[in-house]
Amino acid sequence: MPTRVLVPSGVLGLGFDRAALARGVAAKPDIIAIDGGSTDSGPFSLGAGVSKYSRAATKSEWRQLMQARAEAGVPLVIGTAGTCGTDATVDWMAEITRELAKELGQNVKIAKLYSSQRRETVAQALSDGRVTPLTPAPEIDAGRVLEMTNIVALAGAEQVQAALATGADIVICGRTTDTATIAALPLARGDHAGGAWHGAKIAECGALCSTNPTSGVILVDFDERGFTVEPLAEGACCTPHSVSAHMLYENSDPFVLYEPGGRLDVRGAHYRALDERRVRVEGSEWIPGPYTVKLEGARVAGYQTTIMAVLRNAHYVAHAREWMEKLTAFLQGEIASRMGLAAGGYHLDFRLIGLDSALGALENRQGSPVEVGVLGIVTAPTQETAAEIGKLINPFVLHYPLTEDEELPTFAFPYSPATTDRGALYEFALNHVLALAEPMEAFRLEVEEVGHAEFV
Amino acid sequence: MPSLSERVLKVRSKNAGPFWVTIDIFCGSKAAYDEVSAKLSSARVAELYDAPLQTLKRFDIPELNVVKFSLPRPVVQGGREDRDMHGAGWAVLLEEAELA
């Protein structure tokens, strides 16, 4: 059965074209699907279990989507709620949804798909041989798994279908693959499997597959042979080039995409312009495989304090690297003698902004900067230790001289206090897949009804 | 010798998940694609990124006039040693590389 999926944007929190969304609702979609996150912003969100986007931005956009859902009378699904898709961020999104239901006077049935994994369960699966590394994967053992702050499994189409089968008006998913929320309904209705996954991949970043990437709203029609994609913003067009080129984006392999239960192969896909804004795609293939889900996990890799100074004096700018190397050696001695900390007990790193702070050892150009920013990053086993090292090095970062026989220099500190405690440094600690006996084995579903119409 | 950026439309790099970075060279024309595809060796790219050649994936895609490389990130995204969380800055190494 043909299925029309409305995708308001690539992620909730980045904004979308309201007029285009209204056109999408008028086009009578069968479902509205949006992504709520990814690993793109780094390990902090998963490590801490919090959203990267502000609550205010999330709520204002979700309000518009809940209104669009009520008008369209179809399910609204969000994947990877709250950036990382932990249970905590699913609950955060559900709380926002309850508030909005009350404010909008809506009666809604909410299904929550939880993706967080118990550490002990993952450690057991590891010892049972059900956890397999991808390339490249961090080294793990049971102890490492048990120290992770959050572990999520990436749900696929089957888990989203189970949530939709509850009859929910709104489905709030924990971690899902980027494509699962879009592919779920077309697959459930028997549309072409290769087309469902391929169309979902094309639409998952919203209008990024069009000539107007920031306009957000995309409509995808799935059927028994493939899919048709159309951007809804005024003046935005999908072309065979813009659509096929989107398979390059953030994919290490532009032709093969692994999903729970198989892989998508688009090498046989052909892209055809239906008119100046719509593209038809057929020929993509879905190849079923073992039912595995990807795992993501994060752990605390220390605590950080930073300090920032700017060198503007021409002599210091010209000798910035020599200065930084001497300073580092001097500070290691001070930290050892005053705090009793050997160099292995903490990590002190100065990045020279203006020389090579972005590329490090890969930098192959030299210039003559007007000034050099000195970003000092201290990483230590506790925040107290990192902060203490920050305070200890502060006066030297401000005044350290290149030579002994000169008047003490003073560099520019941009603010007071000069040090900033950054809290925990999280790192991604899993790039593995977990084999499941059946798709819901690693996921939980809860349904609640929120009724506030009587208060309106 | 011209740099790659003088020959092509755009070079883009971005993480492909926390463990990979992918670099897309949009050549913009068949002539530029043919030149880049022929002259830019995988060994040269591996050297620019200090990556073992055998870990480098290469895709020459004439339909799009694109040459694409993917490699494991030298440090995992967001780790203590990471300097570019999104990996977007790595594109400049290819932009500025000379097309021998």
Touching check for A213 and chain B: CB below 8 Å?
no
Strand-pair partners of A288: A262
- Of B88, B52, B73, B78, which is closest to residue A429 (Cα–Cα)? B78
**Is residue B86 within 8 Å of B24, Cβ to Cβ?**
no
Strand runs labelled E in A145-225: 148-153, 170-173, 218-222
DSSP assignment letter at A176:
B
Q: Which of A426, A425, A450, A430 is nearest to A175 (CA)?
A: A430
Q: Taking a contact as any Cβ pair under 8 Å apart, which residues of chain A between 106 and 145 contact chain B? A: 134-138
CB contacts of B26 in chain A (<8 Å) are 245
For residue A408, report the phi and psi dihedrals to the nearest 5 degrees: -60, 125
Amino acid at site A390: G
- Asked whether the ipTM of the predicted complex exceeds the cut of 0.90, the reply is yes
Q: Does B33 lie at the interface with A, CB-CB under 8 angstroms?
A: no
pLDDT for A317: 98
Query: Each residue of B17-36: pLDDT tens digit?
Result: 999 999 999 999 999 999 99
Helix pair angle (A193-203, A180-188), 10° resolution: 150
The strand ranges marked E within A342-385 are 347-353, 372-380
CA-to-CA dists, residue A319 to A324, A325, A329, A340, A376, angstroms: 9, 10, 16, 30, 17
Q: Do B89 and A138 touch (CB under 8 A)?
A: no
pLDDT tens track, chain A, 456 positions: 999 999 999 999 988 999 999 999 999 999 999 999 999 999 999 999 999 999 999 999 999 999 999 999 999 999 999 999 999 999 999 999 999 999 999 999 999 999 999 999 999 999 999 999 999 999 999 999 999 999 999 999 999 999 999 999 999 999 999 999 999 999 999 999 999 999 999 999 888 888 888 878 999 999 999 999 999 999 999 999 999 999 999 999 999 999 999 999 999 999 999 999 999 999 999 999 999 999 999 999 999 999 999 999 999 999 999 999 999 999 999 999 999 999 999 999 999 999 999 999 999 999 999 999 999 999 999 999 999 999 999 999 999 999 999 999 999 999 999 999 999 999 999 999 999 999 999 999 999 999 865 544
Contact of B13 with chain A, judged by CB distance below 8 Å, is answered with no
A416 touches chain B (CB under 8 A): no
Q: Do A362 and B80 touch (CB under 8 A)?
A: no
Instruction: Quickly count: other Cβ atoms within 10 Å of residue A399's Cβ.
Output: 12
Residue of chain A whose Cα is closest to the Cα of B28: A241
Q: Which residue of A has its CA nearest to B47?
A: A362
A205 in Cβ contact with A245 (< 8 Å): no
B14 to chain A, any CB pair closer than 8 A? The answer is: yes
H or E element in which residue A48 lies: helix A44-48
Q: Which residue of B has its CA nearest to A357?
A: B83
Contact A359 B48 (CB under 8 A): no
What pLDDT shows up at residue A456? Answer: 43
Q: Model-level pTM?
A: 0.96
Q: Which residue bears the tokens 């120290």?
A: A147
Q: For residue B78, give the chain A residue with the closest CA.
A: A42
Query: Smallest Cα–Cα separation from A75: which of A4, A180, A170?
Result: A170
Q: At what angle do helices A383-399 and A320-339 cross, to 10 degrees?
A: 130
B41 CA: distance to closest CA in chain A (Å): 18
**DSSP 8-state symbol, A52:** S
Give residue B19's Cα distance to chain centre: 16
Q: Which residues of A touch B16 (CB under 8 A)?
A: 250-252
* Structure confidence by residue, pLDDT tens digits, B32-82: 999 999 999 999 999 999 999 999 999 999 999 999 999 999 899 999 999
**In terms of CA atoms, which chain A residue is nearest residue B63?**
A241
Chain B nearest C-alpha distance from A187 (Å): 25
Strand partners for A35? A79
How close, in Å, is residue B34 to chain A by CA atoms? 18
CA-only gyration radius of chain B, Å: 13
* Set of chain A residues whose Cβ sits within 8 Å of the Cβ of B80: 301-302, 347, 349, 377, 379, 425, 427
Nearest to A428 among B22, B76, B81 (CB): B76
* Per-residue pLDDT at A451: 83
Question: What type of residue sits at position A52?
Answer: K
The pLDDT score that the predictor gives to residue A453 is: 56
Asked whether the beta carbons of residue A359 and residue B66 sit closer than 8 angstroms, the reply is no
pLDDT value for A176: 98
The β-bridge relationship of strands A76-83 and A170-173 is parallel
